[in-house]
Amino acid sequence: MNTMNHRNFFSRVWDLYYDGFRNMTLGRTLWLVILVKLFVIFVVLKLFFFPDFLSTHAEGDEAEFVSHELLNR
Protein backbone atom coordinates (compact mmCIF):
# COMPACT_ATOMS: atom_id res chain seq x y z
CA MET A 1 0.00 0.00 0.00
CA ASN A 2 2.80 2.38 1.01
CA THR A 3 4.77 1.49 -2.10
CA MET A 4 1.71 2.23 -4.16
CA ASN A 5 1.30 5.64 -2.55
CA HIS A 6 4.96 6.42 -3.09
CA ARG A 7 4.71 5.40 -6.72
CA ASN A 8 1.63 7.57 -7.10
CA PHE A 9 3.36 10.48 -5.49
CA PHE A 10 6.46 10.21 -7.64
CA SER A 11 4.51 9.64 -10.83
CA ARG A 12 2.37 12.68 -10.03
CA VAL A 13 5.47 14.78 -9.47
CA TRP A 14 6.89 13.48 -12.76
CA ASP A 15 3.60 14.24 -14.45
CA LEU A 16 3.59 17.79 -13.06
CA TYR A 17 7.03 18.59 -14.43
CA TYR A 18 6.64 16.64 -17.68
CA ASP A 19 3.33 18.20 -18.64
CA GLY A 20 4.45 21.58 -17.37
CA PHE A 21 7.57 21.67 -19.51
CA ARG A 22 5.81 20.16 -22.52
CA ASN A 23 3.01 22.71 -22.52
CA MET A 24 5.19 25.76 -21.93
CA THR A 25 4.74 28.71 -24.27
CA LEU A 26 6.33 31.81 -22.79
CA GLY A 27 8.34 29.47 -20.57
CA ARG A 28 10.33 28.19 -23.58
CA THR A 29 11.68 31.67 -24.25
CA LEU A 30 12.43 32.18 -20.57
CA TRP A 31 14.25 28.86 -20.27
CA LEU A 32 16.30 29.74 -23.33
CA VAL A 33 17.29 33.03 -21.74
CA ILE A 34 18.09 31.26 -18.45
CA LEU A 35 20.27 28.63 -20.16
CA VAL A 36 22.17 31.21 -22.20
CA LYS A 37 22.67 33.27 -19.06
CA LEU A 38 23.87 30.30 -17.00
CA PHE A 39 26.29 29.36 -19.77
CA VAL A 40 27.69 32.89 -19.90
CA ILE A 41 27.95 33.10 -16.11
CA PHE A 42 29.35 29.68 -15.27
CA VAL A 43 31.36 28.88 -18.38
CA VAL A 44 32.51 32.17 -19.89
CA LEU A 45 32.74 34.43 -16.85
CA LYS A 46 33.80 31.92 -14.21
CA LEU A 47 36.37 30.11 -16.32
CA PHE A 48 37.91 33.02 -18.19
CA PHE A 49 37.36 36.11 -16.06
CA PHE A 50 36.90 35.05 -12.46
CA PRO A 51 39.60 32.63 -11.31
CA ASP A 52 39.92 32.04 -7.57
CA PHE A 53 42.63 34.60 -6.83
CA LEU A 54 43.97 32.94 -3.67
CA SER A 55 44.25 29.45 -5.07
CA THR A 56 46.32 30.79 -7.97
CA HIS A 57 48.53 33.10 -5.90
CA ALA A 58 48.79 31.67 -2.38
CA GLU A 59 50.73 28.51 -3.28
CA GLY A 60 48.79 26.42 -0.80
CA ASP A 61 49.23 28.62 2.26
CA GLU A 62 46.33 31.04 2.03
CA ALA A 63 46.57 32.23 5.65
CA GLU A 64 50.22 33.20 5.18
CA PHE A 65 49.45 34.92 1.89
CA VAL A 66 46.57 36.94 3.37
CA SER A 67 48.56 37.88 6.47
CA HIS A 68 51.33 39.15 4.18
CA GLU A 69 48.74 41.15 2.27
CA LEU A 70 47.22 42.59 5.44
CA LEU A 71 50.57 43.55 6.91
CA ASN A 72 52.05 45.10 3.80
CA ARG A 73 49.25 47.33 2.52
Partner 1 sequence: MENELFSIDGSMVDWSRAQFALTAIYHWLFVPLTLGLAVVMGIMETIYYRTKDDFWKRTAQFWQRLFGINFAMGIATGIILEFEFGTNWSNYSFLVGDVFGAPLAIEGIVAFFMESTFVAVMFFGWKKVSRGFHLASTWLTGLGATISAWWILVANSWMQYPVGQEFNLDTMRNEMVSFVDVALSPVAIDKFCHTVISAWVLGAVFVVGVSSWYLLKRRHVEFARQSMKIGAIVGLVASVLAAVTGHHSAYTVGQTQPMKLAAMEALYNGGDDQSLTIFAAVNPFAQPDWKNEHEPPMRIAVPYALSFLATNDLHGYVPGINDIINGYDKSDGEYEVPLSEKMVRGSYALTAMKAYREAKRDGRNNELEVLASEFQENMPWMGYGYVKEAEQIVPYIPICFWSFRIMVGGGCLFILLFCAILYFLYRKKSPRWLFHTALWCIPVAYIVSECGWLVAEFGRQPWTIQDMLPTWVGVSALQSSSVMITFFLFLVLFTTMLAVEISIMCKQIKRGPEL
The smaller minimum CB distance to partner 1, of residues 6 and 66, is found at: 66
| CA dist., res. 34 & res. 45, Å (int) | 15
Q: Kindly state the smallest distance separating residue 19's Cβ from partner 1, in Å.
A: 7
Least CB distance to partner 1 at residue 24 (A)? 9
- Give the Å distances, CA to CA, from 12 to 9, 17, 22: 5, 9, 15
- Coil, strand or helix: which one is 46? helix
Nearer of residues 10 and 34 to partner 1, judged by Cβ: 34
Looking at the chain, list the stretches that DSSP marks H as alpha helix, in order from N- to C-terminal side.
2-22, 26-39, 53-57, 62-71
Binding-site ranges for partner 1 (CB under 8 A):
12, 15-17, 19-21, 26-27, 29-31, 33-34, 37-38, 40-42, 45-46, 49-54, 57, 62-64, 66-67, 69-71, 73
